[in-house]
Structure 1
Amino acid sequence: MRLFMDARYTRTDFHDGISRYGSSLIAAVARMSPAVEVTLVISDEAQLNLLPPGLPWVKATDPTSPAEPLLARQLNPHRPDVVFSPMQTMGSAGRDYGLILTLHDLIYYQHRTPPRDLPAPVRLLWRAFHLAYWPQRLVLDRADAVATVSETTRTLMRRHRLTSREIRIVSNAPQPVVSPRDPELPPEKSLVYMGSFMDYKNVETLIRAMAHLPGYRLHLLSRVSADREAQLAAVGRAAGVSEDAVLFHHGTSDEDYAALLRTATALVTLSRAEGYGLPLAEAMAHGTPVVVSDLEIFREIGGPDGGAARYVPLGPVPVGGGPAAPEGDGSPSGLAARVLELEAPGAFAEASRQAVARSAAFSWDASARALVDLARELAGRRARARRRAEFTASYTG
């Protein structure tokens, strides 16, 4: 089977979420079976630096190009059996192959601000696209099957009838960890946040919580604009948080990220909405517990409350039996209380062990098997349909 995998969303400098998803899935598929011939579809040869080496590739136009709807004209001559894209926007007009499109989440229907690195015209179209569900239905029904990364998203897709096609889960996953941290070693009084600084991420509440966690330090790892950093620093000052309790890293390497996770008390996030929550799985793979907002997707990843994960309710949280806390979504004191639970004798060690066990539910190898199984089914269906058409043509001729 000739499986073409769309790698045009791969970054050329460092991975973001879609880039890492695509490249990790490609690597897992490429090593699983010699019966699957993997070919990369790239738009920039610099993308090969962050993709598995040695795989054949074809170059196509950038996915934001006006020529994207006619992409099949570029791929048809290479005769793929099935093409997989880690996004749902791949052009398909006139295709002569099976097509699997991916919808990761429905988050942009709640928060319509598009990714900032997209060209202005694409950002405008992106915002307009998410004003109603019917454009998404038209896009997804162009495929033979649709992939998504979680049961939570699949349930939402069915609820909103986003496609008439079969929906399969090809999950996100953490990178393999050979040796998780020693659960018996006391953690440092540090907390790790990996994510963007968009409004719905609710980073303000994480910062306010540091006023209730004396001796702890919050590491904010992602890149942040100067204006947004100034806003968040002002939030901390207003809440009485010392300057050295919050550290902006302005981006970090995979190695430094892993090192911080392996010494921290917990990974934290109070996001109001999330498509998946890969940092949770990454933290748990290293044996680091997570303290997170009580979202359905986080429950799917983190498991039962009090095990690998501790959940903080969203919305106003009563404090001491009194009126609702005024801080907005989640409560700084509520987050702090859940972090401090890990200081109880034996609590961190048990949570660390459960985190490693929980992370085993997610692996790129399992995701690769799910994708290849689906691709083989589609290739088989198309081959049978082609034979029937040939037979009918010869019989009627």
Structure 2
Amino acid sequence: MRLFMDARYTRTDFHDGISRYGSSLIAAVAQLSPAVEVTMVISNEAQLNLLPAGLPWVKVTDPTSPAEPFIARQLNPHRPDVVFSPMQTMGSAGRDYGLLLTLHDLIYYQHRTPPRDLPAPVRLLWRAFHLAFWPQRMVLDRADAVATVSETTRTLMRRHRLTSREIRIVSNAPQPVAEPREPELPPERSLVYMGSFMDYKNVETLIRAMAHLPGYRLHLLSRITADRESQLAAVGRAAGVPEDAVIFHHGTTDEDYEALLRTATALVTLSRAEGYGLPLAEAMAHGTPVVVADLEIFREIGGPDGGAARYVPLGPEPEDGGREVPEADGSPAALAARVLELEAPGAFAEASRRAVARAAVFSWHDSARALVDLARGVAERRSRAR
């Protein structure tokens, strides 16, 4: 089977969530079976720096190009059996191959502000697209089958009848860890946040919580615009958070990320919506507990409360749809209290061991098998229909 895997969402500097998902799946599928011929689809040769070495690739236009609806014109000559995209927006007009699309979450139906790094016309279309469910149905039903990353998202997709196609879970997973951290070694008084700074991520509350955690430092690892950093710094000042308690890293390497995870007390996030929550799995794989918002998806990933994960009830959302203000949010102190639980004798060591065990539930090998099984089924159905 000739399986083409869309790698055009791979970054050229540091992985973000979708970049790591696609790259990790490509590597795992390529190692799975010699009967599967994997070809990467890129739009920028610099993407090869963060993709598995030694695999064949073809270069086509960027996924935000006006040519995207007709991307099949560029792929058909290469005669793929099936093309897998880690997003749902890949063009399909005139295709001669099976198509697998991925929907990670339904976040933007509730939080419609699009990612800030998209071009203005794409941002406008993005917002319009999420005003109703029927455009998503049209997009997903163009595929032969659909993948998603969690049971939580699959349940939501079925509830809203987003596709008539088969939905298969091709889960996210942490990177393999050769040796987790030593659970008996006391952690540093530091917290790690890995994620974007979009409003629904609720980073303001993380920062306000530092006023209740004297001696702790919060590491914000992702890239951030100067304006957004200024806004968040102002939140900290207003809450009385010491300036050196919040550290902006402006992006980080995998090596530095792992080093911070392996010394921190916990990874933290109070996001109001997620499709999976990859940083949770990554932290747990290293033996780092997580303190996170009490969301269904986080319970799916983190397991029971008080084990690898500790859950924090969220305060109410702002009525005007804007960023939260201290009076409207009761969770900073609750987050701090759950972090401080890990200071109890034996608490961190026990949570660390349980974190490693919980992370082992997810693996790229299992995800690759699920994807290949789905692709083979699509290829066989198309072959019989000819």
Whether the 8 Å CA contact 2:10–2:20 is kept in 1: the answer is yes
Structure 1's consecutive aligned runs of 4 or more residues displaced over 6 angstroms after TM superposition are: none
Which deviates more, 56-65 or 299-308?
Answer: 56-65
Matching residue of 2:301: 301
Distance across 2 between alignment mates of 1:7 and 1:221: 24
Distance across 2 between alignment mates of 1:257 and 1:241: 24
Deviation of the 1:315 alpha carbon: 2.3
Q: Is the alpha carbon distance of 1:355 and 1:178 closer, same or farther for their aligned partners in structure 2, counting shifts above 3 Å?
A: same
User: 1:185 is aligned with what amino acid?
Assistant: L
Whether the 8 Å CA contact 2:28–2:364 is kept in 1: the answer is yes
Mapping of residues 123-162 of structure 1, within 5 Å: 123-162=123-162
Deviation of the 1:115 alpha carbon: 1.7
Deviations 1:65-115 (A, max 9, x none): 111111112211211111100011111111111110000101111111112
User: 2:232 is aligned with what amino acid?
Assistant: L
Q: Is the alpha carbon distance of 1:330 and 1:296 closer, same or farther for their aligned partners in structure 2, counting shifts above 3 Å?
A: farther
Asked if residue 208 in structure 1 is aligned to residue 233 in structure 2, the reply is no
Which deviates more, 54-63 or 287-296?
Answer: 54-63
Deviation of the 1:24 alpha carbon: 0.6
**Partner of 1:66: helix, strand, or coil?**
coil
Mapping of residues 93-132 of structure 1, within 5 Å: 93-132=93-132
Deviations 1:5-63 (A, max 9, x none): 11111112221111111111000000111000001111122211211111111221111
Deviations 1:343-392 (A, max 9, x none): 11111000000000000011111100000011111111111122xxxxxx
Distance across 2 between alignment mates of 1:223 and 1:241: 21
Number of residue pairs matched by the alignment:
379
Matching residue of 1:322: none
Q: What is the root-mean-square deviation in Å for CA atoms of aligned residues?
A: 1.4
Deviation of the 1:267 alpha carbon: 0.5
Mapping of residues 152-301 of structure 1, within 5 Å: 152-301=152-301
Distance across 2 between alignment mates of 1:326 and 1:127: 28
Mapping of residues 12-51 of structure 1, within 5 Å: 12-51=12-51
Deviation of the 1:328 alpha carbon: 3.0
Distance across 2 between alignment mates of 1:79 and 1:222: 38
User: 1:357 is aligned with what amino acid?
Assistant: A
Instruction: Please tell me whether Structure 1 or Structure 2 has the larger radius of gyration of its CA atoms.
Output: 1
Deviations 1:238-257 (A, max 9, x none): 22211121111121111111
Whether the 8 Å CA contact 2:170–2:367 is kept in 1: the answer is yes
Which deviates more, 225-234 or 120-129?
Answer: 225-234
Whether the 8 Å CA contact 2:14–2:252 is kept in 1: the answer is no
Whether the 8 Å CA contact 1:270–1:330 is kept in 2: the answer is no
Matching residue of 2:60: 60
Structure 2: runs of 5+ lacking an equivalent: 318-324
Identity %: 90
Which deviates more, 148-157 or 271-280?
Answer: 271-280
Matching residue of 1:385: 385
Distance across 2 between alignment mates of 1:329 and 1:296: 20
Whether the 8 Å CA contact 1:205–1:327 is kept in 2: the answer is no
Matching residue of 1:395: none
Structure 1: runs of 5+ lacking an equivalent: 318-324, 387-397
Distance across 1 between alignment mates of 2:316 and 2:51: 44
Whether the 8 Å CA contact 2:14–2:251 is kept in 1: the answer is no
Deviations 1:190-218 (A, max 9, x none): 11111111121111111111111111111
Matching residue of 2:345: 345
**Partner of 1:343: helix, strand, or coil?**
coil
Deviations 1:95-149 (A, max 9, x none): 1111100001011111111122222111111111111100000000000000000
**Partner of 1:143: helix, strand, or coil?**
coil
